[in-house]
Structure 1
Amino acid sequence: APMEPHTAVAHFEGDKLTVWASTQTPFGLQRALTRDLGMSSENVHVIAPFLGGGFGGKINFDQAIQVVKIAKIAGKPVQLAWTRADEFFYDTHRPAAAVKIKSGLDGSGKIVMWDYGIYGMGGRGAQLFYDIPHNRITIYQRHHLVKTGPWRAPDNNTNSFARESHIDLMAARAGIDPLDFRLRNIKDEKFQRVLKAGADKFGWTPAKKFPSGRGCGMACGFDVGVPVVLFAEVEVNESSGAIQVKRVVCAQDLGLVINPQGIALQTEGCITMGLGYALTEEINFTGGRIHDENFDTYELPGFSWVPEIEMVLIDADDQPSKGGGEPAIICMGGVLVNAVYDATGARLTQIPMTPERVRKALAERA
């Protein structure tokens, strides 16, 4: 839900067309227009001005196709801008999904069996970086009632939430500290280095005690070749169900870092955006009808939500550079649900973790 809505301007001049469009895929738009209009690519000029937020949602360019058709009929330059209600109705949404996991441990705390089923979305982020000899990952495709599409680190947010929630459950069942449990079950030395560096920065210690209603958690992820680990401290108001994130530490191995300031900003953006999908952002619909029309019912993170954010970049100058625009966001659901459990003893199994769902989980805890 970027602040800038989908917008475009189309102008025909003789046999030439110029389109200014808010899109992440200008060349894809050019190909679509040349195909639909029967024009040569030399005569279709697409200009993509500075984007007012995209995050995957502006890979699609329906508004540009619409405005070109209108401009062709009108014979005049035309601008089209979707209203916020149009955004919620026409745009794509992150696919809803359910994940079912069966697992097994041996006596030493090693994971020996992993049966992972995804219902309703893809498998990005489901690939194992834990060392499990007997494993199966199955994707069950389902049709959705509303349009779905890319959302920053598609699928990996949900898969990481499910996997890391379950990993913490297994650690608790084995009676092993969550950090030690992960170190036992991840052999990759680079990943272990990220885990240890993040834990040192956060000050993770087994059985660390916080005041009532406060707790900490951790979660691991892997995206576009980047191992990433998040640690978080939260405070939960058990009366209201509100979650306040106090501190987040992000450790990742991005290879050779070319622009440290850019990586810092991307990481802060990922963590802030991750607060939304983890805590509040949810589409309400009945059948195929979406009820949300603006940000009064679709709550986005505000500046007052942003916690203290610290970053650890692993020194890997001998490795090629990797993208830092998405990895940090994938663990936000997992790290916060684990921290909430540590703070309250209530295990949530659905995101976003709205106050209503938190209160329900608190009432149902053993």
Structure 2
Amino acid sequence: MESRAAILWEQNAEWSVEDITLDDPKAGEVMVELAASGMCHSDEHLVTGDMVLDPEIAKMIGLEQFPVIGGHEGAGTVVEVGPGVTDLAVGDHVALGFIPACGRCPSCARGWQHLCDLGAFLLAGRQITDLTARHHAKDGTDLGTMCCLGTFSPVTVVSEASCIKLTDDIPLDKAALVGCGVTTGWGAAVNAANVQPGETVVVVGIGGVGANALQGAAYAGARHVIAVDPVEFKREQAPIFGATHTASSFEEAQALVGELTWGANADKVIITTGQVTGDMIAPAMSLLAKGGRCVVVSVADIKANDVQLNLFELTLQRKELVGCIFGNANPRRDIPRLLRLYMEGQLKLDELVTREYDLDGVNQGYQDMRDGKNIRGVIKY
């Protein structure tokens, strides 16, 4: 089958929109015609190299990350199923979860689908079933797919482990957002931070993930929800998603939090910046009250190891620093649940989308993201 896709041929290049061919789905796979794809910052991490393995290491383990079709947030309709697929049929509506969930590995069995063993294949970009490609450039070159999905193409082939079946009443262009950013931000507040009613919560970085961390904190009953971002447009948008106060920097947030809490500080701090660096940890931890928890959601450079952290304060004030992937969520449970909240008016998805683009506008969409013009951009097919 023929389609088009936005391909990243090498690091620090632009996305190239080209014709491609797709193989039929093999055992355990389905072909999906997408309605939309979210434009998540994680695809930008491929461009900048934050999520790119050292070439020598990649060669050693037989991994080729480039060329790769971008996109890992999508929803659409199943148009073909491979042998052995029993849970999905042609015509089914599905959201694609960027974390596949097998349901059988030790993590899935413990209710930790966000740590499914199949996640080991995400950077490989090949089919989970046999580590070969179903997507090919016109010259025959095998193409990888971001998170084994490749939603920067109106048609893609994925493992059934990446598909969450939806009811037909859910708008697919909104369901696309829940495959990564919405669930990651919401779950960071509700699951990883475990926000409780009456707490003070600080969210640092108000993009597609941070806006949903605000929503999760507000839904959980936080008294104060402080949005921190240097971009004025994002601070202006933050109250739509539940922020009660805003600040432009750590320093401004420190004074504000101290005033709001009479010097006790915040119960939870959630870092959702486009990229996290080691020098952000100490000021984030300084915003915490005794026994408070800092949740790191943002992706860092894959080679980054240095962190600034006051260990005396960590111990004597019993503060917690924890990691979070996909909002520590279980996609097969939480994606349908969040979409049901949207349908009932309790989760804002329409307001998240600042601009829509066609596939040829992918580079403009990411430039708008870099310029701070979007909470979330979406490619509509």
TM-score (norm 2): 0.26
Q: Which has the larger radius of gyration?
A: 1
- Which structure would you say has the larger RCO, counting Cα contacts within 8 Å and 6 or more residues apart? 2
